[in-house]
Structure 1
């Protein structure tokens, strides 16, 4: 089957004026697919298939429907994909487009090929960028899709994400999440791999008892939020040390970003850090035992059970992306109700109007601008008194 480009266009209202500057790392081959990598966690075995049937389904948030704004756009180029897999991948892309916000089209190369037995899929960012305008951390690599979103410009002409799916896997291509026994939900796998491509990936690697962070000693933005059980930041441990190696194989690594913590109810999202280091699995996934099939935060664990469907990234994962810099959707209004209105002040020629805003999801911190005045977001529904109208 020839390459098929497909475009997903969405409306978005993010206005950014920025100059393009800084440095970029261009992968010679795709992370996690063709690149003989020792650093990115998307390498190695990829998403692992577990034969045990889970019979679980986490549906998309109720606020996502055909009327929901898509604040990011995708362009997918398919290679050898069967038609039913294209439809399922399209559905996964559509879900991510409702969560993410970016002015720059996110481009994906999706390949249908033979992978190692037991591997369902592999993916990662094609390019990494550092020291660009809009980056929160200096001397830190960001996945291309996130870097573009933060900068407001396309920082590299290549595709942003490369992913491959095992043509021999027993896939379920349905869109309803009702994955039968012995089958693997394709939408779930696609959501997982796109997640790696947009930045759910760290730079850790491990060899002979020693741990390392960074590509050419440059960490990824993900690495800034990882810590030990004792709240010691991994970036504060000596690179190439046994202390870092012990941490990476401690089974007790955590995420310390505030939004990710909010997503697990105020604790710390637990990362996958088994005692036997697993290239391509350790560090850049959530812990499988802590977030098993059926958990709202199970999407980015290293394995997918048969008959497990997860069509929602979950609050912890979305919070982790927000910590890294993504603007996450879900705070659009679903309703604006008019409340009491005061009579006109004849001296000033103005009046006041009360409005009540209902959001798709409970907002965190932020600002609303109405008629030039700024109001803090609080809760849903939120009542605002507009004065001087």
Structure 2
């Protein structure tokens, strides 16, 4: 949905509305222990769009991606890392993210939407029976990876790609930096992503706001973990679960009378100066219901502004009272620390200039420069574009890699504490390769400038000596049989790796491609050439490609293969290889002047009919004089005798075949030499 620009009673502007979508299913769990939360992004976009958009990207604070798609991935993973440092769960939380066109106007637009991918009830350790819980929360409580029963992800998120276009919101665009400081009126993507992740974790009700009906299973409506703590102030009954459907509809449009009664939010309202009644904060319940916004947000009257209000106001990476609401619905202990600290990260590389295919080690040092402990420190490290991740070794905590992003959860850092991290990657692209790291924590940071570090490595494509050889499975095979070519590529260099390898195999004339396989190789066919690509080949190592083809031409069949790479190869003598397979001649294959036009003879009754002689002459003067034509003739004489027998004994088939042959006979009459035809008599 969309709204126009709104003005709050404290004169702060509310500009853009969030929307969210719900997808629900019932599934069952098994128990496990708790741990720090890991939130991983699943790229759900197709090639060339959204998270895979190859448009060039201009670096911003914390995000030095070379493409727009990778910049989006970096930003949404950074938001996931921030959220993961606040909550705890033993089960990895997977978020399916895609950028779609959601439209919008010049002054308002939907920004994004997210919700739990599934819900569950009555799982192991469920706090309240017969109550729906979002799947990520159900998994946290039960300790079981329930989502694998009905799907792999716990949260679905959709982002409006039109915000990066030219028609929606005028000049305002997504800002993909990590510093919560977008230029001008641009929209901070990390703020929006955090907002949507919180919805997916359970900050939303599953009640149908148009009908007041609870989410049902088997015809029975059940409470959900969010709506249990809603109150229609002054109404009877006041609690949302006990109301009739009609009463829930009324509560959802009761303006400032819909309240949150959870104990943890209520205990932390001291700083709230408006938008509360006693110890109850007001929820969003406009007198005209707004699908996707009503009920499942804090009220717009709340002051100071909260991240979980329905409209985007300013960049804000502090999730505010939402952390206490998550505790109220069942997330338990969350990490909260509003003491300002000063984190710093620096890095060095193992070699400013290295060769393609070589490993680079980035040595990171994270320091807490403040006098206070930093809570749940996390780094988001974006390895160079096109590089291959090898490992990450932290001095504390743990690291994992996804989508070319290394996340390290380092735990708490005491005052003046330091943690070292070594990240190893293989650099394969010649030129400047940039490794970027950003450090953050639950605490606000008083000096954001030193939270980012980037290191440039210069990669040079040094000379290598690539060699290629091949063997065939047999030296001689029967016509129409498969031949297997085993091709070995060797990097003979003792000092340098090779990058961007391209192997090209030219199949024998008339051969039919069957398959091409090899570890790490990506192969395709554009007849007659099979092309295979390999990102890199380490020094003094080999790699094998196996190609299978059907050989359809009698005699010598030659397969030729070549190898090259991004590196210069001064030794060219071993860059190609050829192997010959002898294909045994097929029996019953016509020679020039012979008869053998089985189908035509059967159709016209005699090998001396003019029509048959013209076809035979066309065979002799044209088809038998080139390899493709000879292959066609061989196929014809392989399969036509059996067909000719059926045609000869069926008048209807003879008539039909004569009609089919008519255009070929006409072409033969126009091309065949009359002297040759007379000679056949």
User: Contact between 2:40 and 2:77, CA under 8 Å: does it hold in 1?
Assistant: no
Residue 227 of structure 1: CA displacement? Answer: 0.4
The CA deviation string for residues 218-250 of structure 1, in whole angstroms up to 9 with x for no partner, is 221101100012271011112x22x22211111
Corresponding residue for 1:260?
Answer: 265
Choose which of 128, 143, 159 in structure 1 pairs with 2:134. Answer: 143
User: Contact between 1:203 and 1:215, CA under 8 Å: does it hold in 2?
Assistant: no
In 2, Cα distance between equivalents of 1:151 and 1:163 = 24
SS in 2 for 1:245: helix
In 2, Cα distance between equivalents of 1:310 and 1:268 = 23
SS in 2 for 1:109: strand
SS in 2 for 1:206: coil
Change (3 A) 1:191 1:50: farther
SS in 1 for 2:231: strand
Choose which of 140, 157, 160 in structure 2 pairs with 1:163. Answer: 157
> Please, which runs of 5 or more residues in structure 2 have no aligned partner?
15-34, 52-68, 164-172, 271-277, 340-371, 376-681
Corresponding residue for 2:39?
Answer: 74
User: Contact between 2:174 and 2:187, CA under 8 Å: does it hold in 1?
Assistant: yes
Q: Does 1:96 pair with 2:66?
A: no
Choose which of 317, 322, 329 in structure 2 pairs with 1:317. Answer: 322
Q: Does 1:219 pair with 2:223?
A: yes
Residue 206 of structure 1: CA displacement? Answer: 3.3
Residue 54 of structure 1: CA displacement? Answer: 6.0
Q: Whose radius of gyration is greater, 1 or 2? A: 2
User: Contact between 2:86 and 2:336, CA under 8 Å: does it hold in 1?
Assistant: no
Corresponding residue for 1:244?
Answer: 248
Corresponding residue for 2:294?
Answer: 282
Q: Does 1:133 pair with 2:124?
A: yes
Change (3 A) 1:258 1:222: same
SS in 1 for 2:327: helix
Larger deviation, residues 193-202 vs 321-330: 321-330
Change (3 A) 1:77 1:136: same
User: Contact between 2:119 and 2:132, CA under 8 Å: does it hold in 1?
Assistant: yes
User: Contact between 1:50 and 1:304, CA under 8 Å: does it hold in 2?
Assistant: no
User: Contact between 2:42 and 2:97, CA under 8 Å: does it hold in 1?
Assistant: yes
Corresponding residue for 1:202?
Answer: 205
Choose which of 191, 205, 216 in structure 1 pairs with 2:194. Answer: 191
In 2, Cα distance between equivalents of 1:256 and 1:133 = 26
Residue 55 of structure 1: CA displacement? Answer: 9.4
Residue 360 of structure 1: CA displacement? Answer: 6.4
The CA deviation string for residues 249-280 of structure 1, in whole angstroms up to 9 with x for no partner, is 11121111100111223721211000001111
Change (3 A) 1:312 1:319: same
In 1, Cα distance between equivalents of 2:281 and 2:71 = 34
Q: Does 1:87 pair with 2:52?
A: no
Q: Does 1:112 pair with 2:99?
A: yes
Change (3 A) 1:92 1:175: same
Corresponding residue for 2:308?
Answer: 300
In 2, Cα distance between equivalents of 1:136 and 1:106 = 20
In 2, Cα distance between equivalents of 1:86 and 1:201 = 25
In 1, Cα distance between equivalents of 2:318 and 2:329 = 19
In 1, Cα distance between equivalents of 2:12 and 2:253 = 27
In 2, Cα distance between equivalents of 1:97 and 1:49 = 33
User: Contact between 2:174 and 2:186, CA under 8 Å: does it hold in 1?
Assistant: yes
Q: Which has the higher strand share?
A: 2
The CA deviation string for residues 356-383 of structure 1, in whole angstroms up to 9 with x for no partner, is xx9768xxxxxxxxxxxxxxxxxxxxxx
Choose which of 229, 233, 240 in structure 1 pairs with 2:239. Answer: 233
> Please, which runs of 5 or more residues in structure 1 have no aligned partner?
1-44, 57-69, 335-357, 362-389
Change (3 A) 1:116 1:204: farther
User: Contact between 2:323 and 2:334, CA under 8 Å: does it hold in 1?
Assistant: no
User: Contact between 1:172 and 1:185, CA under 8 Å: does it hold in 2?
Assistant: yes
Residue 317 of structure 1: CA displacement? Answer: 1.1
- Tell me how many residue pairs correspond in the alignment: 268
Superposed, 1:371-382 pairs within 5 Å as: none
Larger deviation, residues 86-95 vs 272-281: 86-95
TM-score of the two chains, using structure 2 as the length reference: 0.37
Residue 156 of structure 1: CA displacement? Answer: 2.1
The CA deviation string for residues 91-136 of structure 1, in whole angstroms up to 9 with x for no partner, is 1111111101000000110101111311000110111010011211
Change (3 A) 1:50 1:328: farther
Corresponding residue for 2:515?
Answer: none
In 2, Cα distance between equivalents of 1:153 and 1:212 = 29
**Structure ranking higher on relative contact order (CA contacts 8 Å, 6+ apart):** 1
User: Contact between 1:177 and 1:311, CA under 8 Å: does it hold in 2?
Assistant: yes
In 2, Cα distance between equivalents of 1:114 and 1:49 = 19
SS in 2 for 1:218: strand
Q: Does 1:182 pair with 2:185?
A: yes
User: Contact between 2:37 and 2:92, CA under 8 Å: does it hold in 1?
Assistant: yes
In 1, Cα distance between equivalents of 2:234 and 2:37 = 38
In 2, Cα distance between equivalents of 1:131 and 1:359 = 39
Corresponding residue for 2:20?
Answer: none
